[in-house]
């Protein structure tokens, strides 16, 4: 536990989580190009964006079970290799169907970084460090998303979208090599309760409070990724900026989380409570959605950038449900529980962006979609109020 090698483990896992976010949001700045070139509806473009989440979501529970049974390292290596294949195929796609298939394969490959990383963190770090450590891991996602939103539009402008996206293969290959060379631990199973994976699922799903976490993160993360998905297109249409400029503004949202996610984790470790930080971020997400809905078309470029950066800084509490859920269950159920909650995160992420794209198709209004997002975030806040605080100063379970 005291070994300095644990920071090597965390660094490599964080780099891996960067790759998942590069490919998670890297298509968003390209949406205006796809809508124009392929004559797609916004709902169809949203489907390409969310195809990543179809497979990512479908395998979260199986991955949790695999991690608990086979260990983290083996699972990470196998799935990262699939990510390499998907990332290579996407820029080669020539049709809408091929794009969907390649994005789905990328999502499948990216699906086994987060849950195995949580298993490794539970093995290498003390309980009173987990908030800040999971925050650092999460910041890798913010860094990856920011890099994608900034660099992919610039590379696409210079080389075309295919070569611009193909450049993302380089960091994925480097990460796969680092996983193989440096990740240690998590190789032995934590132990499955009698009855195997089915019994583990029943134990976790039979814990009533987890359902408030499930519904809350479904709504919160779904609305958050809707914002990341549609903000670039909204800015191009409303403010008449270039896709690269729109990607820059959206990148400020993810850039803010690079700071706010580790800070939120550190605060929850220090104050001994986690739920209040989560509720604060939920309220701020409602406020930001309302700003884009009501004032968005009238914002200047600088004003839109300021709102996006503030959103990223205020959304740090997004990571706290992950910490809370890992603390609700014993170590042998940690992978299963994390996989279940992560599934609900991405059920929201694959459905709500398409729903809001449909709102735009019907109304012709991005502000209307952001208004719906504010309603979704309000429901998320209501369910978050019913979750259980697991900090050291929380009431006993």
Q: Please count the other Cβ atoms lying within 10 Å of the Cβ belonging to residue 322.
A: 26
27-40 per-position pLDDT tens digit = 877 777 777 776 77
Q: What is the mean pLDDT of residues 270-293?
A: 91
Cα angle at 222 between 216 and 227, to 5 degrees?
130
Of the pLDDT bands very low, low, confident and very high (cuts 50, 70, 90), residue 379 is: very high
Find the distance separating the first CA and the last CA of the chain, reported in whole Å: 26
Residue 7 has pLDDT above 50, yes or no: yes
User: Closest by alpha carbon to 198, among 60, 63, 336?
Assistant: 336
Comparing 77-91, 101-115, 136-150, 286-300, which segment has the lowest mean pLDDT? 136-150
Which residue from 6, 260, 224 is spatially nearest to 132, judged by alpha carbons?
260
Of 37-41, 121-125, 154-158, the one with minimum mean pLDDT is 37-41
At 187 the pLDDT is 55
Q: Which of 61, 383, 31, 71 is nearest to 212 (CA)?
A: 383
Could you give all domains of the chain from N- to C-terminal order, each with its CATH number? 5-384 (1.20.1250.20)
Angle at 269 between CA 265 and CA 275, to 5 degrees: 70
Would you state the structure tokens that stand for residue 104, as one six-digit string?
């789905």
pLDDT in the model for residue 195: 52
Residue 397's pLDDT is 45
Q: CA-based Rg of the chain, rounded to a whole angstrom?
A: 20
| Interacting residues of 106 by C-beta distance below 8 A, sequence separation 6+ | 23, 52, 83, 86, 87, 90
pLDDT tens by residue, 79-113: 999 999 999 998 888 778 888 899 999 999 999 99
Alpha helical stretches, state H, the chain = 5-25, 31-38, 42-58, 60-70, 72-89, 96-110, 114-124, 130-159, 161-166, 169-182, 196-205, 210-239, 243-271, 275-294, 301-314, 320-328, 334-363, 366-384
d(CA 72, CA 60): 13
Taking a C-beta distance cutoff of 8 angstroms, is the pair 333, 204 a contact? Answer: yes
Cα separation, 373 vs 359, whole angstroms: 11
Q: What is the DSSP string of 198-240?
A: HHHHHHHHT-TTHHHHHHHHHHHHHHHHHHHHHHHHHHHHHH-
Greater pLDDT, 345 or 196: 345
Task: Please check the confidence at residue 371 and state whether its pLDDT lies above 90.
Answer: yes
Measured in whole angstroms, how far is the alpha carbon of residue 248 from the centre of its chain?
A: 19
- Report whether pLDDT(181) > 50: yes
Give the model confidence (pLDDT) of 334-344 as tens digits. 778 888 888 89
Q: What is the DSSP letter of 275?
A: H
Confidence at 396, pLDDT banded by 50, 70, 90: very low
Both tokens of 5, joined, read 């090698």
Between these two residues, 272 and 355, which has the higher pLDDT value? 355
Q: 183: closest CA among 75, 23, 305, 300?
A: 75
The percentage of residues in the chain with a pLDDT greater than 90, rounded to a whole number, is: 28
Percent of the chain with pLDDT over 70: 93
Asked whether the predicted pLDDT for residue 381 surpasses 80, the reply is yes
Q: What pLDDT shows up at residue 170?
A: 93
Tokens of 228: 């990341």
């Amino acid at each position: 536990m005291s070994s300095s090698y644990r920071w090597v483990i965390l660094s490599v896992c964080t780099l891996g989580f960067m790759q998942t976010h590069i490919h998670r949001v890297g298509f968003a700045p390209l949406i205006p190009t796809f809508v124009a070139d392929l004559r797609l509806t916004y709902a169809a473009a949203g489907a390409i964006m969310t195809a990543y989440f179809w497979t990512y979501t479908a395998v979260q529970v199986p991955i949790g079970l695999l991690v608990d049974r086979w260990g983290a390292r083996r699972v990470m290596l196998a799935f990262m290799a699939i990510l390499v294949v998907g990332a290579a195929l996407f820029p080669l796609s020539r049709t809408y169907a091929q794009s969907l298939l390649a994005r789905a394969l990328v999502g499948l490959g990216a699906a086994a970084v987060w849950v195995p990383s949580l298993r490794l963190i539970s093995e290498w770090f003390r309980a009173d460090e987990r908030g800040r450590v999971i925050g650092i891991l999460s910041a890798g996602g913010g860094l990856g998303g920011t890099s994608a939103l900034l660099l992919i539009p610039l590379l696409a402008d210079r080389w075309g979208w295919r070569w611009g996206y193909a450049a993302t293969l380089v960091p994925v290959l480097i990460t796969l090599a680092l996983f193989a060379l440096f990740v240690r631990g998590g190789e032995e199973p934590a132990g499955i309760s009698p009855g195997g994976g089915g019994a583990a699922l029943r134990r976790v799903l039979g814990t009533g409070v987890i359902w408030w976490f499930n519904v809350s993160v479904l709504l919160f993360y779904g609305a958050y990724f809707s914002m990341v998905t549609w903000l670039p297109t909204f800015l191009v249409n409303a403010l008449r900026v270039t896709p690269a400029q729109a990607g820059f503004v959206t990148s400020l949202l993810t850039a803010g989380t690079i700071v706010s996610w580790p800070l939120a984790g550190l605060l929850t470790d220090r104050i001994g409570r986690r739920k209040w930080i989560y509720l604060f971020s939920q309220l701020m997400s409602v406020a930001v959605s309302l700003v884009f809905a009501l004032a968005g078309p009238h914002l200047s470029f600088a004003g839109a950038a300021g709102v996006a950066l503030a959103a990223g800084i205020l959304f740090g509490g997004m990571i706290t449900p992950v910490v809370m859920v890992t603390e609700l269950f014993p170590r042998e159920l940690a992978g299963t529980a994390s996989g279940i909650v992560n599934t609900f995160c991405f059920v929201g992420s694959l459905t709500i962006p398409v729903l809001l794209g449909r709102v735009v198709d019907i109304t012709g209004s991005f502000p209307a979609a952001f208004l719906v997002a504010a309603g979704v975030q309000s429901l998320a806040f209501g369910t978050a109020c019913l979750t259980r605080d697991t900090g050291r100063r929380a009431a006993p379970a």
